[in-house]
Amino acid sequence: MKKTIIYFAAAAAMAVACQVENLEYPQTAEGEPFSIRASFQSTRTTLDTDGWKVSWDDGDALSVIAVYADGTTRDYRFDKGEGDTFSCPKVYSPEDITALNVFYPYDENQYDMDGDYGRAGMSFGSGMQQSAIDDASHIDGPLYGYARLESGEGQVVMHHASTLFDIQVANSSDKDILITEVRISTQDGDKNMTGWFKVNPQTGAVEPTSAYKEAALPVNEVTVSAGQTGHFYITSAPFELLQGKTFSVTVTANGIQSRFEKTVESEETGNFAAGTVNHIKAEFTEVEEVDPNLTVSIEPSYMAPIAASGEFTINVTSTGDWTVVPETGIDDWLEVSALKGSGNGTVTVTLKELAGGDSDVRTGKVTFRAGVNSAVLTVQHGYAQQIGNLVWAKANVGESGRFAESPDAPGMLYQYASKTGWSNDYPNNGTEAPEGYPTGAKNSPLTWAEDQDPCPEGWRVPTDGEVTALLGTDSDNKFGWLEPSASGFAIPGVACGLSKETAKTASKDNMAGCIFLPCSGNRHWKHGQYQNPTHATMQSSTIADVKGNGDGNAYRYVVKIMGSDTNFTLPSSPENKWGYAELNMAYPVRCVAEQTDEQ
């Protein structure tokens, strides 16, 4: 029997609002010293029952990416100095810096830099796996810290700041252990642990825009050898826990979940603050061995149902005993009929109607495990919105066959008649084409084949007529531009599907029967560079009746809403050449449900 001891260790913090010391350095070719301060009282992580006090350790270093007024970036290493000051001896043109991206811990193996500037860790992508112990470059979650310098005030105000958990798996047993997942969660349904969020620059308060109770880090079968400690990094939106609420850490090792729960016992809030890194140690003293040859698979592995509720059958194929582990916090809308089985069998997944109506979307995961192997069922529920006689998806397509994680996530970019998704570099205008991106003129095929449709099963790319029915015409358009400050969405975009007057009242908490189309831009057909991040775009599956510019291209109808609800082109206005696009131009995909007899 494996015994597990998990306890919280000391925490280090980075400020939500740092202070820059003296911005008036003279510009030189070699660069000048530059400092930031950290660990302000308001950013300290506290959990009173453990007596947490936040401090930096000697030897700590930050990876800082400076963004300059001309759009270029430079990467720096900032080392801890006296007190809570972090400094770099050579920062080029500090007076031209407009923003700082701040990461912890510093990673010397990431991204070469020229001259004396060294190397620094770069942005951690959302949804990535960790592939090795101590690999901070694969952190799952939003940006760790983003600082904008306010002109003339010498202040750095943090935006889109997350709280970082460094989960230290200490293997004190005499056997190796295989880690496949690390998870943090809270029983408090009102807390927002993952998803998009922002920091209000007026109040400094964190304002989450998506509500999930749990943040999970998939681990790509990483071994922690006997006597070794491995670090696993996961970020979440900052959150607080009130008296009586619990916080838990779960590590899946050798196919077995080990869980620790901590309850806030006094009236003082347990606060996991923006810009902090919280070290949590999980110690394994004895390890239960399991059969590494057991296998398990499921069909389907992904669901995005159109129905508001219902029962769905999951077929399980296994060579032995298996267990079913729903992630924490989804039991209010998802239930499974069995938590274990053996060999081949079925499990019924029951989805309940969501209480939040047309503003509610949920993503949940159910893990099927056999020994150290597992298969994961992903369910995206509430992603269907009926407008007129059509059902529209509430989010763009992310990876082919799956929706993006949130209505305000831009998703991936797709060329006409292709199910290959290309990266969306929003909001970084001008980034180069990804490797393998097809470029040049293209005039076929004339239809979008079903086997090349990137929409999830039961969904498809809309026609130009369906897009017109959603967005209207030049003289009678059905959309309103929304800015994040008023709408609650993480990025700008348009609410669409009803009259402009109704659409402009929509928000993330009350969509008023509309759907949200976020700014997402596109990739160019000639060179594949990412462009137009201020455009909310959507493509159709209909080839246009025009041939343009004598360049040998065929065209399809597209939507381009460019920064306002007065600057746009629609498929209903084909006389405007910007209302269509080359087939190798890549745009986001927004799906409609396939028509059935019941619809």
Please tell me the distance from the alpha carbon of residue 503 to that of residue 505, in angstroms, as a whole number. Answer: 5
The pLDDT of residue 329: 72
Tokens 């008649």 map to which residue?
A: 417
Query: Helix, strand, or coil here: 563?
Result: coil
Q: Are residues 324 and 313 in contact, defined by beta-carbon separation less than 8 angstroms?
A: no
The pLDDT of residue 5: 33
Query: Cα-flanking dihedrals φ and ψ of residue 431, to 5°?
Result: -70, 150
Nearest residue to 468 via CA among 362, 363, 568:
568
Between the two ends of the chain, the Cα-to-Cα distance in Å is 54
Least confident of 98-102, 211-215, 287-291: 211-215
| Strand-pair category, 302-303 with 373-381 | parallel
What are 175-216's pLDDT values in tens digits? 899 898 888 887 665 555 655 455 454 444 555 544 456 777
Q: What is the chain's mean pLDDT, rounded?
A: 78
Model pTM score:
0.69
Q: Are residues 299 and 314 in contact, defined by beta-carbon separation less than 8 angstroms?
A: yes
Please tell me the distance from the alpha carbon of residue 101 to that of residue 122, in angstroms, as a whole number. Answer: 9
Q: Are residues 124 and 235 in contact, defined by beta-carbon separation less than 8 angstroms?
A: yes
pLDDT at 142 over 60: no
Please tell me the distance from the alpha carbon of residue 31 to that of residue 50, in angstroms, as a whole number. Answer: 43
Going by the DSSP 8-state scheme, the letter that residue 175 receives in this structure is: S
The pLDDT of residue 171: 92
Cα 214 versus chain centre, distance:
13
What are 511-543's pLDDT values in tens digits? 999 999 999 999 999 999 999 999 999 999 999
The pLDDT of residue 161: 56
Nearest residue to 360 via CA among 325, 400, 332:
332
Per-domain residue ranges of the chain: 4-284, 296-382, 385-593
Say which residue, 560 or 245, is predicted with more confidence.
560
Fold of 296-382: Immunoglobulin-like (2.60.40)
Q: Which residues pair with 340 in a beta bridge?
A: 323
The pLDDT of residue 510: 93
The pLDDT of residue 499: 95
Common-topology check for domains 4-284 and 296-382: yes
Going by the DSSP 8-state scheme, the letter that residue 503 receives in this structure is: H
Read off the pLDDT band of 467 (50, 70, 90): very high
The pLDDT of residue 52: 38
Nearest residue to 559 via CA among 456, 429, 470:
470
Least confident of 111-120, 419-428, 519-528: 111-120
pLDDT at 17 over 70: no
The two three-digit tokens of residue 402, written as one number: 């799956």
Nearest residue to 78 via CA among 156, 167, 170:
156
The pLDDT of residue 24: 32
CATH 2.60.40.420 fits 4-284, yes or no: no
Task: Report H helices in 281-332.
Answer: none
Say which residue, 142 or 408, is predicted with more confidence.
408
Please tell me the distance from the alpha carbon of residue 90 to that of residue 550, in angstroms, as a whole number. Answer: 52
What are 565-598's pLDDT values in tens digits? 899 988 877 566 567 899 999 999 999 998 754 4
Least confident of 42-46, 402-406, 526-530, 574-578: 42-46
The pLDDT of residue 597: 45
Q: Are residues 301 and 378 in contact, defined by beta-carbon separation less than 8 angstroms?
A: yes
Cβ atoms within 10 Å, residue 573: 16
Least confident of 43-52, 57-66, 383-392, 543-552: 43-52
